[in-house]
Amino acid sequence: MSVQTKDIRNIVLLGHSGSGKTSFAETMLFESKAIGRRGNVESGSTVSDYTNIEQDKGTSLFSALLHAKWRNCKINILDTPGSDDFVGEVVSSMKVADTALMLLNSANGVEVGTELVWEYVQNFNTPAIFVINQIDHEKSDFEATLEQAKQRFGSKVLPVQYPLDQGKGFTTIVDALRMTMYVFNEDGGKPEKVAIPETEMGRAQAMHNALVEAAAENDESLMEKFFEEGTLNEDELASGLTMALAQELIYPVFCASGLENKGSGRIMGFLKDIAPSPADRPEAKLEDGSTLKCDVDGPPTMFIYKTLSEPQVGQVSYFKVYAGDVKSGAELVCDRNIERITQVYESNGKQRTNVNQLVAGDLGATVKLKFATTNDTLTEKGKSHQIEKITFPDPRIRSAVVPPSKAEMEKLMKALHQIETEDPTLIVEQSPQLKQTILHGQGQLHLDLVKYRIEKVNNIQLGFEKPRIPYRETITRQADDSYRHKKQSGGSGQFAEVHMRIEPYYEGMPDPNGLTVRKTMIEDLEWGGKLAFYWCIVGGSIDSKYINAIKKGIMQKMENGPLTGSYCQDIRVCIYDGKMHPVDSNDMAFMIASAQVFKNAFEQAGPQVLEPIYEMEILCSDSVMGDVMGDLQGRRAMIQGMDADGHYQKITAKVPLSELYKYSSTLRSITQGRAKFKRKFSEFTQVTPDIQKNLVRNFQSELQEV
């Protein structure tokens, strides 16, 4: 029989690379006897880093689902990568977690990766517990790390413990919540409980009082008891802290050495006693705006937060049961498709144990679903509720795929789309404008992982090259022109004459001077911007039946602009005169005529190339800020602002996309990996005359080569 919802704890391990998440997870499994011996990252023997590439690279690249049983409580552990190149793994794990365990490296303090992931903790309104890890490091500085955490995350940060002898030879933790001291032997494990020495009693008591006040603060009965007696008993304290943690009113701080197995048991005990169960968290939001209660008696509902393709296994789907229970053999519905859940598994990395069912709140895995993938909800027949989907971050870098042989291209695209299905932070774009296949990802490490998987799993060589830029073309002034298309080559010929005015388009502009508007069509273009098409023919010089043909000819030319072959946008076209022939005029003739007159008028109307501009936000330390600024200025950046963000500096700038190739690698190099960035599309702006001249010249050279 599976565990009850109230006894489940879903924990996500978060932190900067090198904070020790994987080692800490390994220690939790060992301490709970889920495994018989501890592996280590260096030898590639940990439970969570089980893929070949993680073992080759010696770092976490995927999230891993683990679980430990601790005193009748099931703790589901989601170990996540520390590099923000794999932030999608973090976001999907946070979607289904109920408590965040934030690991801080005691030697390095609060690092930039922790700063970034904290944004997601707040966005998901996830209760958080801090673990200052690696207390055994020779450069450990618990006090400095605690102070940084308070400065960055506020007064809610409350220490529960502190080390008495940090650094090499670390053995002792003072616990102010239980007012006892834990002394570990050299191998770690279960500590000896001893009295706190008199020399430490003052500090421990002050920390204890702060915890008692925090526990009592939001419960009137506890507050009255606290004022009357000056303290709370163990049950009252636990009740108050449970409420305070669940409402994100406190962020308790523990200390540990994951590598030496010192402190993990106490933290698991706190998770069992104080951390919220899935039933204690707010009801799940649904796509239609309503909510779903985490209740085993509710309608069976499971949400897939992650999919991964494994050799010899196929697609593995990781899910959370949001209501009811999920049994082996159950038939559930996903977008009107019936999925049969052949098997339900509990997971410890690649080791999966078949179970009969998982109840509301639990995490598990299944295999070989036919239709459902990441972000899909499966429910019982007759129910249509959908769990609110995960919003993944926008890509931050782009690279073009070097096209392989024609025979391999089809295999490559199939493999890329398979990875794209598993990883929503990867976008595969086949651009007809750029004539390239573009991969959009979170960073160079992200794309390198894609390359590794394609080459190792699919045996296809994958290369990258600089992607072309999706420029746009527009005009800056009015121009009028006409064109006659006449062709006679035996039999019926072709004839069409079109008189056209083009001018820059903007919202709310007045009707054209001197023309009578008969029909107006404002079209939103697929690539952005607008085409305003005005039919101003008076007297029937061109029959209205040719409107669509004329508009189609214009659109064909707008998809391949005269300057650089880029898309055209924000143009008003007025057709005000022309001629037709009763026999030789047809749709094709008017398409050809309108395309040519549009091209001629465009070249007279002050044509302008526009380039995409991205808004950048870079987070870095004071020490590298000058280097980061210098690099941005070399990229034609317009600095928008500089602000302090905790003990980091935040730079905002607008940078042309053409200057951002390999920016991820450059930033990592000049800051030794201690800076992070994000970007989003801002606008198209005019390029300078010299850049436009070069772009036009290069385009003409390409046409001549063809």
CATH code, domain carrying 680: 3.30.70.240
User: Tokens 């009811």 sit at which residue?
Assistant: 324
Same domain, 478 and 524: yes
Assess whether pLDDT exceeds 60 at residue 410. Answer: yes
CA distances from 14 to 10, 262, 492, 554, 556 (A): 13, 19, 74, 53, 51
Closest CA to 243 of 120, 73, 127: 127
Average pLDDT, stretch 379-390? 93
From CA 225, how far away is CA 48, in angstroms rounded?
Answer: 45
Paired residues of 315 in beta bridges: 309
Does some domain include residue 242?
A: no
Same domain, 18 and 128: yes
pLDDT digits (tens, 9 = 90+) for 422-442: 999 999 999 999 999 999 999
- Are 477 and 604 spatial neighbours (Cβ–Cβ below 8 Å)? no
- DSSP letters, 425-491, are T-EEEEETTTTEEEEEESSHHHHHHHHHHHHHHS----EEEPPPP--EEE-SS-EEEEEEEEE-SSS
Does some domain include residue 206?
A: no
Assess whether pLDDT exceeds 70 at residue 536. Answer: yes
pLDDT digits (tens, 9 = 90+) for 9-19: 999 999 999 99
Closest CA to 280 of 577, 675, 9: 9
Does some domain include residue 80?
A: yes
CA distances from 589 to 196, 378, 544, 575 (A): 95, 54, 15, 15
CA distances from 360 to 283, 293, 390, 692 (A): 12, 9, 19, 60
Tell me what pLDDT residue 201 has.
97
Closest CA to 88 of 400, 258, 308: 308
Same domain, 502 and 548: yes
Same domain, 587 and 491: yes
CATH number for 110:
3.40.50.300
Same domain, 130 and 110: yes
Does some domain include residue 700?
A: no
- Are 529 and 472 spatial neighbours (Cβ–Cβ below 8 Å)? yes
Same domain, 41 and 72: yes
Same domain, 615 and 593: no
Q: What distance lies between CA 530 and its chain's CA centroid?
A: 30
Tell me what pLDDT residue 263 has.
96
Tell me what pLDDT residue 490 has.
63
Tell me what pLDDT residue 706 has.
58
Average pLDDT, stretch 483-497? 85
Average pLDDT, stretch 524-531? 95
Mean pLDDT score across all residues of the chain: 93
DSSP code, position 189: S
Question: Cβ–Cβ contacts within 10 Å for residue 409, how many?
Answer: 14
Tell me what pLDDT residue 149 has.
95
pLDDT digits (tens, 9 = 90+) for 503-514: 999 999 999 999
CATH number for 322:
2.40.30.10
Residue 510, helix vs strand vs coil: coil
Instruction: Quickly state the pLDDT bin for 43 (edges 50, 70, 90).
Output: confident
CA distances from 287 to 122, 292, 372, 510 (A): 21, 11, 17, 42
Does some domain include residue 304?
A: yes
Same domain, 146 and 276: yes
For residue 132, the enclosing domain spans: 5-191+250-280
HEC per residue, 544-596: HHHHHHHHHHHHHHHCCCCCCCCEECCEEEEEEEEECCCCCCCHHHHHHHHHH
Of 571, 589, 606, which one is at a domain's C-terminal end? Answer: 606
Assess whether pLDDT exceeds 80 at residue 73. Answer: yes
Element (H, E) at 223: helix 220-229
CATH number for 434:
3.30.70.870
pLDDT digits (tens, 9 = 90+) for 574-600: 999 999 998 899 999 999 999 999 999
- Give the predicted TM-score (pTM) of the model: 0.89
Of 577, 606, 635, which one is at a domain's C-terminal end? Answer: 606
Tell me what pLDDT residue 310 has.
84
CATH number for 550:
3.30.230.10
Element (H, E) at 85: none
Same domain, 581 and 629: no
Closest CA to 343 of 313, 365, 310, 360: 365
From CA 38, how far away is CA 363, in angstroms rounded?
Answer: 23
- Are 651 and 631 spatial neighbours (Cβ–Cβ below 8 Å)? no
Does some domain include residue 386?
A: no
Same domain, 308 and 332: yes
Of 379, 412, 439, which one is at a domain's C-terminal end? Answer: 379
- 705, with CB counted inside 10 A (0-12, 13-18, 19+), is exposed
Number of independent structural domains in the chain: 5
Same domain, 31 and 157: yes
Does some domain include residue 71?
A: yes
Closest CA to 78 of 11, 130, 16, 127: 11
Assess whether pLDDT exceeds 60 at residue 1. Answer: no
Instruction: Quickly state the pLDDT bin for 491 (edges 50, 70, 90).
Output: low
Work out the percent of the chain whose per-residue pLDDT is above 70: 98
Same domain, 270 and 300: no
Tell me what pLDDT residue 440 has.
96
Does some domain include residue 168?
A: yes
From CA 109, how far away is CA 148, in angstroms rounded?
Answer: 7
Phi and psi at 428, nearest 5°, equal -100, 115
- CA end-to-end distance (rounded Å), the chain: 70
User: Tokens 């085409």 sit at which residue?
Assistant: 531
Closest CA to 148 of 115, 176, 120: 115
Count CA within 13 A, CB hemisphere, residue 363. 30
Instruction: Quickly state the pLDDT bin for 648 (edges 50, 70, 90).
Output: confident
